[in-house]
Amino acid sequence: MKKNILIFVIIAPLLAIILAVGKAYYYYDVWQYEGQDVIFEVHSGEGFSSINHRLSEAGLIGSTKVLYRYCQYKKTMTKFKAGQYKITSGSTMKETIETLLYGHPITRELTVPEGKNLYEIAAILETNGFVSSAKEFIRVAKDPELLRQLHISGETAEGYLYPDTYKFTPNQTPPQILRSMVELFHQKTRSLDYSTSSLTPDQVLILASIVEKETGARAERPRIAGVFFNRLKKHMRLQSDPTTIYGIWESYKGNLKKENLQETTPYNTYKINGLPKGPICNPGIEAIRAVLMPEKHDYLYFVSQNDGTHVFTKTYSDHLKAVEHWQINAKNREGKSWRQLKQN
C-alpha cells in the first residue's frame, strides 16, 4: 500500500509535468494558424497583455498562457516592436512570435524630392497618408525641444529634411518621421568639410537651399553658388525670387508680383542685406557641395533661359539685355520647360 502511494506521489506529478510540457510544445511548435494571411499591428507603447489578448482573439495563437510563460522565460515581454506585420496561413505560434519580435514591420516608400520646403513636404506626407495632418507635422517641425534634441539651431527643421526615398511604417508618428529625415541629413553631411568655407555650417545650408531652388541643372550649381558669393563679397543684395516667395509662402498664390518684392520679410533678399533668416527648402547633397566648392568667376547676374539653364553676365547692362531677350521676349518663353532639361 505504501509502495502504491509512493508511486502515485512520484508518478502523478511527473505525468502532469510531461503533459504540461507536451501541451506547451504542441501549442508553441505544432499548432498552426489556419486562417487567411492577415496583417497584425503592434501599437506604439502597447503592453504584452494587450498584444497577447488580441493575438488570441484573432486566432493567431493557440494559448495565451503558453505565450505568457514562454515570453516570461525568454524575457521578451517588452521586446515587441511597434508596426504592422504579415502573419501567413499555416504559421506556428513560434513563427508568429518571431515575426513580431525579430521581423521587419511592413513599410511603404515615400520619395521626398530635392528642393521641397517644409510646407510642401508636410503636404506630401498628408496626401500619401503618412500623417493625418500637414499642420501637425509643421507644428512638430517647429517644436523647440525637438529641434534642440536634433541639434538644429534654427526655429524650424527647414533645410534638415533630407531629400531621399524613405521606408516608413504606417503607424510612425510625425516626430518619428521628422527624426528619420533629420538623422539622414546628419548622416549624409557628416563627411563634408566646412572649414574651407567663409560661411558657417548654418549659412552654408541657407545658401545651398537658395542654389537648389535657383536651378534645375546640376552642372550649374557651383556657378550659381559663385554668383552669390561674388554678390556677398561686394555687399550686393542677393535678389533671389525663391527667397522672397518663401517669406510669403502661406499667402503666396503662385505669381510673384512687384509689390511682393517691396514687402519686407526676413527672407526677401531684395530688401535685406546678406543671407535670409534660414533655409528656404531642403537641398540635396550636391547643392551643399556646390556652396562648399563654388566656381570661381566674375559673374554677378544670371537669368533663366526658361529650360532650367541660365545666361550669366558680369555687368548690369548685359544682364538687362539678357532679361530683354529671355524674359520679356515672349517668343523665347514659348513651350519651354526645365523638365525637358537633361540632368547632368
Q: Please, what's the largest Cα pairwise distance for the chain? A: 121
C-alpha grid cell, residue 337: 520647360
**Domains present along the chain, CATH in parentheses:** 27-102 (3.30.1490.480), 108-189 (3.30.1490.480), 194-340 (no CATH)
Q: What pLDDT band is residue 2 in, cutting at 50, 70 and 90? A: low
Nearest to 130 by CA among 146, 112, 142, 143: 112
The owner of cell 552669390 is 228
Mean pLDDT, the chain, rounded, equals 88
Residue 80, CA distances (Å) to 68, 75, 255 in order: 13, 11, 51
The 3-class SS string of 99-142 reads HHHHCCCCCEEEECCCCCCHHHHHHHHHHCCCCCCHHHHHHHCC
- Measure CA of the first residue to CA of the last residue in the chain; give whole Å: 96
- pLDDT tens profile 270-279: 999 999 999 9
pLDDT digits (tens, 9 = 90+) for 108-153: 899 999 999 999 999 999 999 999 999 999 999 999 999 999 999 9
Band of the pLDDT at 228, cuts 50, 70, 90?
very high
Stated pTM of the model: 0.78
Do residues 250 and 119 lie in contact, with contact meaning Cβ atoms separated by under 8 Å? yes
What is d(CA 188, CA 185) in angstroms, rounded to the nearest whole number? 5
Percent of the chain with pLDDT over 90: 60
Residues, the chain: 344
Spatial contact of 248 and 265, defined as CB atoms under 8 Å apart: yes
